């Protein structure tokens, strides 16, 4: 419908998987698809595509109801519930893992599923790229989204396309405090980096084109550990970027993933590893339950319909990035249980490691260091109170 805003909703959850945390079972995808097909028939959604990356079931939907719409969120919730029933019938691993609540209460955010949604007036040609990652966390998109929307060495259009030349606005979320800050690139690049270099806490949530305020990108920001207060699976994120005609080209968007940067996640959500860009056929986790992977699906949105997808990382042009990721995998794995392969103590708080350490608590005896240690905690970085 021309002039009307279409909404693209990507909602995902791990509702149980085949062979440990390896991959989604096709029957659970069918169960979710049936619910969405029914909703499409009733006119609740315009179009949909169901897929999976590793153990995460992905629902991609278009509709005209806006972001955070209760009807759409309930639809996704019901699709995950139906898929969970199948997962339980089949005895799949961790069936219903990400559904942290028994009851739906108007919005899936905070209940476990990850959500990336954006609403816009369709351009005559509307290409979008949908990213879906497994075995990592929302902050994994900080580095590539910075490169896509703020780094002219990645995105030539920032220099040569007049519609992008003013730069982009970054909305950065503090997931510990529930606060948001809007910063402007390129003027505040160093401030942006000062925050998003701590991806466990500061997450790029949305990006807007500065010249007209058009939405350019959105990332899911749900962190399951922080919702549940314990490790219940990693917060495998999803993201959307609009492409071409005043936005970065599809190739500029993909280019940011040619460097397999280190992200948190992988085995037991407790390790750093390279983010490997793969096609759907390789979107299944094996070695040490990883390494972490990201899939990029390209769609055109036309009259509200999802046209596609194109499996964008299923291309030999990313073979070298994958090879580098394999080398980094070997290198990181040789650290075994040592940091920085294993995550730092703040992140390990949410795992079962404290239970192990608790046993040793009484075996520590006082020891004269010969100095009084001055321990500093920056509240901005750790989320803890500052102690004198």
Q: For residues 14 and 214, which CB has a smaller minimum distance to Mg ion in the complex?
A: 14
Pairing of strands 276-277, 293-302: parallel
> Smallest gap, in angstroms, from Cβ of residue 263 to Mg ion?
13
151 catalytic, yes or no? no
What Cα–Cα distance (Å) separates residue 102 from each residue in 51, 85, 90?
Answer: 24, 13, 20
Which one of 116-124, 127-135, 139-147, 342-350 is the stretch in contact with Mg ion (CB under 5 A)? 127-135
- Per CB under 5 A, does 14 bind Mg ion? yes
> Smallest gap, in angstroms, from Cβ of residue 199 to Mg ion?
17
| Residue of 51, 56, 116, 277 interacting with Mg ion (CB under 5 A) | 56
Which residue out of 146, 202, 208, 231 is catalytically annotated?
231
42 catalytic, yes or no? no
Alpha helices in the chain (DSSP H): 26-41, 70-89, 142-150, 157-160, 189-196, 224-228, 250-255, 319-333, 345-348, 353-358, 379-382
Could you tell me which of 241, 242, 224 has the C-alpha nearest to residue 233? 224
Classify the phi-psi angles of 178: left when phi > 0, otherwise alpha if psi is within -120 to 50, otherwise beta. left
Q: Which residue is nearest to Mg ion (CB)?
A: 236
Q: Return the number of other C-beta atoms located less than 10 Å from residue 314's C-beta.
A: 17
Which residue out of 234, 236, 289, 350 is catalytically annotated?
234
281 catalytic, yes or no? no
| Residue of 45, 48, 55, 232 interacting with Mg ion (CB under 5 A) | 55
Residue 93 tokens, joined: 């691993």
Distance CA 20, CA 29 (A): 17
- Per CB under 5 A, does 98 bind Mg ion? no
- Per CB under 5 A, does 236 bind Mg ion? yes
Which residue out of 12, 14, 56, 284 is catalytically annotated?
14
Q: For residues 113 and 304, which CB has a smaller minimum distance to Mg ion in the complex?
A: 113
Size of the site for Mg ion (CB under 5 A): 6
Catalytic residue numbers, as ranges:
14, 231, 234
Contact positions vs Mg ion (CB under 5 A): 14, 54-56, 134, 236
């Amino acid at each position: 419908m021309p002039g009307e805003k279409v909404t693209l909703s990507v909602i995902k959850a791990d509702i149980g998987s085949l062979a440990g945390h390896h991959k989604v079972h096709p029957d659970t995808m069918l169960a979710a698809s049936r619910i969405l097909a029914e909703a499409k028939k009733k006119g609740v959604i315009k179009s949909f595509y169901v897929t999976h990356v590793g153990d995460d079931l992905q629902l991609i939907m278009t509709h005209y109801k806006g972001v955070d719409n209760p009807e759409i969120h309930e639809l996704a919730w019901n699709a995950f519930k139906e898929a969970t029933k199948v997962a339980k019938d089949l005895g799949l691993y961790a069936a219903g893992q990400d559904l942290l609540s028994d009851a739906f209460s108007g919005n899936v955010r905070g209940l476990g599923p990850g959500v990336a949604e954006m609403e816009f007036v369709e351009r005559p040609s509307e290409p979008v790229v949908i990213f879906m990652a497994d075995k990592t966390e929302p902050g994994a998109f900080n580095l590539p989204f910075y490169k896509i929307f703020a780094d002219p060495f990645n995105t030539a259009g920032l220099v040569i396309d007049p519609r992008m030349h003013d730069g982009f606005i970054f909305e950065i979320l503090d997931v510990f405090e529930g606060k948001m800050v809007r910063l402007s690139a390129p003027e505040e690049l160093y401030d942006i980096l000062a925050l998003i270099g701590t991806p466990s806490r500061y997450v790029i949530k949305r990006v807007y084109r500065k010249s007209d305020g058009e939405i350019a990108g959105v990332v899911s920001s749900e962190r399951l550990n922080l919702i549940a207060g314990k490790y219940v699976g990693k917060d495998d994120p999803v993201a959307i970027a609009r492409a071409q005609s005043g936005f970065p080209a599809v190739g500029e968007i993909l280019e940011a993933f040619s460097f397999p940067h280190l992200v948190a996640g992988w085995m037991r959500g407790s390790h750093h590893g390279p983010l490997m860009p793969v096609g759907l056929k390789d979107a299944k986790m094996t070695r040490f339950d990883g390494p972490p992977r990201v899939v990029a699906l390209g769609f055109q949105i036309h009259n509200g319909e999802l046209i596609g997808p194109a499996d964008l990382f299923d291309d030999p042009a990313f073979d070298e990035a994958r090879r580098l990721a394999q080398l980094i995998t070997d290198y990181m794995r040789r650290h075994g249980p040592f940091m920085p392969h294993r995550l730092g103590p703040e992140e390990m708080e949410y795992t079962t490691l404290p239970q192990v350490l608790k046993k040793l608590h009484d075996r520590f005896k006082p020891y004269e260091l010969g100095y009084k240690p001055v321990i500093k905690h920056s509240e901005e970085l750790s989320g803890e109170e500052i102690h004198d």
